[in-house]
Chain A
Amino acid sequence: MAGSNPNAKPMNLTLNVWRQPNRTTEGKIVEYKVKDISPEMSFLEMLDVLNEDLLHAGQDPVAFDHDCREGICGSCDLFINGRSHGPEKGTTTCQLHMRKFSDGDTITIEPWRANAFPVNKDLSVDRSAFDRIIQAGGYVSVNTGGVPDGNEIAIPKDIADRAFEAATCIACGACVAACKNASAMLFVSAKVSQLALLPQGKPERKTRVENMIAQMDKEGFGACSNIGSCAAECPVGISLENIAILNREYISAKATSNNLA
């Protein structure tokens, strides 16, 4: 590759990739060889090389989700060598680089596994369960009217920072994929605590947590066992403290809301 590090030796790898033609057909692991992979490539670029090889050979390329390739969008949901987004801490798959692997390595690539995330094809899963949880209450209703003054609502800096930390969740689903129980609580807790911390979120505080948890359970995600795999695998570092906030919000909402249903 032009302009690349001359000391970076190209690698040959064996890939065990989950191939599944559609939702209803059972898939299987298929072995592929890729050659001359630059250590400077991202993991997704390495998969691009594989797909080019497959296309040239007249075979069906491997389907996988990706979009921004900048670690922001949360699309690249791959379970690599038994870990969400691979072995590197605090990264999405697109930000995982091939220099983290060695020549001759065998890499196993699987889709997120959860009943709430059905496999569309190969490595691509349907994460619309997350959308439905957000639709159940993960928002702030905005009423029409005049534009409020920028500093009208005072928010202390440390509260704003904590809300922002929670807001960095990119909804990639790594938490669900890594959890023994396929629980979505870290994802739900990030949104609930973000909005519970801010004054704008207060009016809908109780209905939000009640409805989001009801939807989460309906989608078939598991319950939290406070194991911590989710937080350890989260590419943006959402902490377990958020799940405690979620539990608090849920307990107080259930105890004090007027919702009898």
Chain B
Amino acid sequence: MSWITKTLTSSIGRKIIMSVTGLFLCTFLVVHLVGNLQLFKHDGGAAFNAYSHFMGTNPIIRTIEWGLVLGFGFHIYEAFALTRRNKAARGHGYAQWKAEQNSEWTSRNMGILGTIILIFLIVHLYNFFWRARFAGDLPKMGGADLEMADYDNLYLAVVSSFQLWWYVLLYVAAQISLGYHLWHGFRSGFQTLGLNHRKYMPLIKYAGYVFAVVVSAGFASMPLYFFLFTNERGDVVSNVPAFIQSVASAF
């Protein structure tokens, strides 16, 4: 083995891959969340569909997409490799184990949280990404604008999926898992890269908490909103509270 593979397969090397890919995936979450906020624009999906058309066809985005595939791939692969190594380090367990008295639950259960996110990811990619990119069975936008008319109506697919209670439940469960995963993961990523300084660590820690809550709540708000307040075309139904009506009409 060369020094590069030796370094990257050492205990610290694997952790570095874990943290670099994890922090990279955090940047993806920001882009994905901001883009998806266009779902809330009450324009029958015009903005969201134009955006998803751009994301699916722009050559620069399509190139970066491979980085995303590698980011997820390595993050998941290293998670399995590290879990195997770490489990093997203690062949004989304890009769009594009170880890809850010395550490946070999230930090000890990143693997379980990650697995829930992975299951969600497979369902999520199949239902939206696969259908938009490969299956080609999405309805078209239609309408007067000739260019827009040919765009896939991903908005309709998203909104109608969010009318299914079990689908919404899976999404919300996954976002809670993501929130807890980020709660530990954000700060942990910095620590692994050696970016722990007594001046900045409290800031990084609380920024991580805010990031975890905002990102997971932001994503979870989408299925909940369409499930609770709209019909299968994304129109706000008449019996929702006036407050929601007025906020929705502002967009």
Alpha-carbon distance A150/B209, docked complex (angstroms): 48
B164 interface residue per 8 A CB criterion:
no
Report A-chain residues with C-beta under 8 Å of the C-beta of B32. none
Query: Is there an interface contact between A241 and B103, defined as CB atoms closer than 8 Å?
Result: no
| Contact residues of B between 1 and 21, Cβ < 8 Å to A | 2-3, 6-7, 10-16
Contact of B192 among A181, A226, A232, A261 (CB under 8 A): A226
Query: Is there an interface contact between B86 and A216, defined as CB atoms closer than 8 Å?
Result: no
Stretch in contact with the other chain, from B50-58, B91-99, B118-126: B91-99
Stretch in contact with the other chain, from B141-149, B151-159, B194-202: B194-202
Q: Which residue of B lies closest to A219 (CB)?
A: B89
Tell me whether A232 and B95 are in contact in the complex, defined as CB-CB below 8 angstroms, given that A180-B86, A247-B192 are known contacts. Answer: no
Query: Is there an interface contact between A243 and B89, defined as CB atoms closer than 8 Å?
Result: no
Report B-chain residues with C-beta under 8 Å of the C-beta of A222. 11, 85-86, 88-90
Query: Is there an interface contact between A240 and B196, defined as CB atoms closer than 8 Å?
Result: yes
B110 interface residue per 8 A CB criterion:
yes
Report B-chain residues with C-beta under 8 Å of the C-beta of A79. 94
Report B-chain residues with C-beta under 8 Å of the C-beta of A246. 12, 194
Report B-chain residues with C-beta under 8 Å of the C-beta of A200. none
Query: Is there an interface contact between A217 and B10, defined as CB atoms closer than 8 Å?
Result: yes
Query: Is there an interface contact between A223 and B102, defined as CB atoms closer than 8 Å?
Result: no
Report B-chain residues with C-beta under 8 Å of the C-beta of A245. 194, 196
Q: Which residue of A lies closest to B82 (CB)?
A: A223
Report B-chain residues with C-beta under 8 Å of the C-beta of A102. none
Report A-chain residues with C-beta under 8 Å of the C-beta of B82. 223, 225
Alpha-carbon distance A141/B104, docked complex (angstroms): 40
Q: Which residue of A lies closest to B194 (CB)?
A: A248
B193 interface residue per 8 A CB criterion:
yes
B188 interface residue per 8 A CB criterion:
yes
Minimal beta-carbon separation of A30 from chain B (angstroms): 12
| Contact residues of A between 99 and 145, Cβ < 8 Å to B | 108, 110, 113-116
Query: Is there an interface contact between B11 and A216, defined as CB atoms closer than 8 Å?
Result: yes
Report B-chain residues with C-beta under 8 Å of the C-beta of A185. 11
B133 interface residue per 8 A CB criterion:
no
Report B-chain residues with C-beta under 8 Å of the C-beta of A81. 96, 98
Report A-chain residues with C-beta under 8 Å of the C-beta of B99. 82, 178, 180, 229
Tell me whether A223 and B86 are in contact in the complex, defined as CB-CB below 8 angstroms, given that A83-B101, A248-B194, A254-B7 are known contacts. Answer: yes
Task: Place the interface of chain B in its size category.
Answer: 35 or more
Contact of A214 among B10, B16, B97, B201 (CB under 8 A): B10
Q: How many A-B residue pairs have CB under 8 A?
A: 140
Report B-chain residues with C-beta under 8 Å of the C-beta of A214. 10
Alpha-carbon distance A110/B91, docked complex (angstroms): 15
Query: Is there an interface contact between B90 and A182, defined as CB atoms closer than 8 Å?
Result: yes
Q: Which residue of B lies closest to A177 (CB)?
A: B94
Report B-chain residues with C-beta under 8 Å of the C-beta of A229. 99, 102-103
| Contact residues of A between 229 and 249, Cβ < 8 Å to B | 229, 232-233, 240-241, 243-249
B38 interface residue per 8 A CB criterion:
no
Contact of A115 among B3, B88, B108, B198 (CB under 8 A): B88
Alpha-carbon distance A259/B4, docked complex (angstroms): 11
Alpha-carbon distance A249/B15, docked complex (angstroms): 14
Contact of A108 among B11, B95, B187, B201 (CB under 8 A): B95
Alpha-carbon distance A260/B93, docked complex (angstroms): 38
Minimal beta-carbon separation of A113 from chain B (angstroms): 5
Query: Is there an interface contact between B86 and A108, defined as CB atoms closer than 8 Å?
Result: no
B184 interface residue per 8 A CB criterion:
yes
Report A-chain residues with C-beta under 8 Å of the C-beta of B160. none
Query: Is there an interface contact between B188 and A82, defined as CB atoms closer than 8 Å?
Result: no
Query: Is there an interface contact between A113 and B92, defined as CB atoms closer than 8 Å?
Result: yes
Q: Which residue of A lies closest to B12 (CB)?
A: A250
B36 interface residue per 8 A CB criterion:
no
Query: Is there an interface contact between B191 and A114, defined as CB atoms closer than 8 Å?
Result: no
Query: Is there an interface contact between B103 and A227, defined as CB atoms closer than 8 Å?
Result: yes
Q: Could you list 18 examples of A-B contacts with CB < 8 Å?
A: A82-B96, A82-B101, A83-B98, A110-B94, A115-B91, A180-B99, A182-B86, A217-B11, A222-B89, A222-B90, A223-B12, A227-B108, A228-B103, A244-B195, A245-B196, A247-B15, A251-B12, A254-B13
User: Which residue numbers of B lie inside 8 Å of A, CB to CB?
Assistant: 2-3, 6-7, 10-16, 82, 85-86, 88-99, 101-104, 107-108, 110, 184, 187-188, 191-196, 198, 201
